[in-house]
Amino acid sequence: MNTFQILTDLRSRITEPTAARWTDNLLLTRLNTTADRICARIGGLYSVRSLTVNSGDRTISLPADCHKVHAVKWNYISWSSVTTGNTESDSTKITVTGDYTDSFHFGLYIRIQDGSSNWHTNRIEHVHYDGTNTYLWCEDLQPASVSGGSIERAMTTSSSAVLSEMPREIYSSIYGTTITGVPTRYTVIEDKIVLDPAPPDDKEYAVELQYFKNPQRLKLYNSGTATATKGSTTVAGQTTEWSHYKCKTGYQFGIGSNPERWYEIEGRNNSDTSLILKSAYEETTATTSEYVIAAPCDFPDEWVPVLVQWVAAECILEDSQGNNAVFAQHDRLKQEVESQLMRLKANRLTEDLYPQPSVTFGR
C-alpha cells in the first residue's frame, strides 16, 4: 500500500465532528509516530546495507534509518575499472552511453572521477537502460556534475569476518590507541560504529551492516498540476516542485484527486517540473490535471491494519466529546490493536528474522 491508500482507509474509520478537522498533515504525523511505536513493540524492520569506508577510518556513520544494529561484517575491497561510453552526471543520476546493466546493479558501490582527478564514492539506488543510455540513480550523488569521468566499481576480496560487539566500557578504556590491524569487534557510539583495532590505512574496505530500521516516512505531495501523455514515461508538471525528496525512486504517481491506477516513479528528469515513470502511462492523456505522489509503505501487509486501527482509535477518542458510545468504540479498537500486536510479536519470534543477506558488492 502507499500513503494515499492508507490515508483513505484511515478516513473511512474516523468521524470528524467538524469538517476537515483532521488534515492530511495531522494524520500523516499520527501515522508516522505510530509506525515507530509499532516497530518498537514488535521488533522493527530487518535490513542489510553495505557501507564503503575510506582506508584508515575506524568510525562509520550509521544509516539515518537505523534503529538498532544486529550484526557487522567487514570485507577488504578493491576497485575494478569499467570501460564505458561517455559518462556524465547531474544532481541525481549518472548517465552512461550504452547498455551496462550487466556491470551495475542496486546496492553496488561505485566511484566516479571528477575533473580534478578526485574520486567520489556513491551507492547505486536504481539502474535503468532506455535503449540508448544506462542511468544510475544514486542518493546524494557526488560529484554533482561531471562530464567524461571514469567509473570504477567495488569488488570484495575473499578476506571477511563477522565482528563481535564490544561493550562501551571496554571501548572507553582503549579509546585513543593507535593500534591498527584487522578489525575483530565493534561498538556503537550514538550514531556511529567504531571498529577495533583501527583498520590499516593502506587498504579500503566495506562494512556489511545488518540492522533493524525505522519505517519509511509516509509522505504525500499534490501541489500544482500534471500532464501525463498516453504511451509516454515522462510526466510534465505545472507549478510543481518535484525535488528528489518528493520524487524518490519507488514513490508512486497517480492522476486525479483519487487515482484509480498507480505508476512507480523512476526518478526526476533533471527538473522540478518533469519526472520519469518506470512504465509508460496507459490511460487517456491527462492535461494540467490533479495528481498525487505517494510514498510507499514498507510495513509488511499484516502490519498495516494495526497501524490504521491504532491511529483511528486515538482520533476517535479525541473526537468523543464525552459521548459514551464513542468511548466504547475507542475501547474496542484499542483491545483489537493490543491483541493484534501480541499476535504479530509472537509471529516475529518464530520467524527467521535474519535471512542470509544478498550480495551487494561487485560480482
pLDDT per residue over 259-271, tens digit each? 999 999 988 887 8
Ramachandran quadrant class, 56 (left: phi over 0; alpha: psi -120 to 50; beta: rest)? left
Scan for cell 567509473, then name that residue.
Answer: 151
What pLDDT score does 363 carry? 30
67-95 per-residue burial string, b: 16 or more CB within 10 A, e: under 16: bebebbbbbbbebeebebeebebeebbbb
What pLDDT score does 222 carry? 94
What pLDDT score does 238 carry? 96
207 and 50 Cβ atoms separated by less than 8 Å: yes
Residue 70 in this model has a pLDDT that exceeds 90: no
316 and 326 Cβ atoms separated by less than 8 Å: yes
218 and 35 Cβ atoms separated by less than 8 Å: yes
Centre a 10 Å sphere on the Cβ of residue 342 and count the other Cβ atoms it contains.
12
- What is the average per-residue pLDDT within 91-107? 80
- What is the average per-residue pLDDT within 205-227? 89
Residues near 170 by beta carbon (within 8 Å), at least 6 away in sequence: 187
122 and 142 Cβ atoms separated by less than 8 Å: yes
Percentage of the chain modeled with pLDDT above 70: 79
Percentage of the chain modeled with pLDDT above 90: 25
The DSSP symbol for 303 reads G
Residue 202 in this model has a pLDDT that exceeds 70: no
186 and 166 Cβ atoms separated by less than 8 Å: yes
* Out of 75-89, 119-133, 218-232, 340-354, least confident range: 340-354
The confidence band for 174, taking pLDDT boundaries of 50, 70 and 90, is low
- What is the average per-residue pLDDT within 189-200? 83
Q: Whole-prediction pTM value?
A: 0.70
What pLDDT score does 87 carry? 64
Residue 64 in this model has a pLDDT that exceeds 60: yes
Whole-number Å distance between alpha carbons of 55 and 52: 9
- Based on DSSP, count helices (H) and strands (E) in the chain, helices before strands: 5, 21
- What is the average per-residue pLDDT within 160-185? 72
Whole-number Å distance between alpha carbons of 282 and 40: 41
41 and 345 Cβ atoms separated by less than 8 Å: yes
Which residues on adjacent β-strands are paired with residue 105?
A: none
Whole-number Å distance between alpha carbons of 194 and 179: 14
* Out of 83-87, 99-103, 199-203, 329-333, least confident range: 83-87
Q: State which of 56-60, 183-187, 281-285 shows the largest mean pLDDT.
A: 281-285
| Start-end of H helices in the chain | 3-11, 24-42, 168-174, 304-318, 324-350
The confidence band for 178, taking pLDDT boundaries of 50, 70 and 90, is low
248 and 265 Cβ atoms separated by less than 8 Å: yes
Backbone angles phi, psi at 172, to 5 degrees: -60, -35
pLDDT tens, residue by residue, 294-340 = 999 988 888 899 999 999 988 888 877 766 666 677 777 778 888 88
The confidence band for 359, taking pLDDT boundaries of 50, 70 and 90, is very low
What pLDDT score does 355 carry? 43
Q: Which amino acid is at 339?
A: S
The confidence band for 235, taking pLDDT boundaries of 50, 70 and 90, is very high
- Residue/partner pairs of 332-335 with CB below 8 Å, 24 or more apart: 333/309
**Crossing angle of helices 324-350/24-42, nearest 10°?**
40
**Spatial CA neighbour of 192 closest among 205, 177, 207, 173:** 207
Centre a 10 Å sphere on the Cβ of residue 98 and count the other Cβ atoms it contains.
14
